[in-house]
Amino acid sequence: MDASRLFLAAGDSFNDTTMLAQADHGFLLHAQENIVKQFPQFPALHDYAPLTQALLARM
């Protein structure tokens, strides 16, 4: 990872979890419940407003 940059990522499915793990901060957005349960390390958000707030809080 580039130490001079902050990487934020959001995804909704299993195939996004590698990207979320590589990011400085990863979030699940509109993910199915089984994905949320399988990956509790990623905050699960269900709307764009909370996602925007979470991203801005980490910048």
Identify the CATH number of the domain in which residue 49 sits: 3.40.50.1000
**pLDDT score of 26:** 98
Distances 46 to 3, 9, 25, 51 between C-alpha atoms, Å: 30, 15, 17, 8
The verdict on pTM exceeding 0.75 is yes
C-beta of residue 26 within 8 angstroms of C-beta of residue 9:
yes
**pLDDT score of 2:** 66
Q: Judge whether 18 lies within some domain.
A: yes
- For 27-50, what is each residue's pLDDT tens digit? 999 999 999 999 999 999 999 999
Q: Judge whether 2 lies within some domain.
A: no
What range does the domain containing 45 cover?
8-57
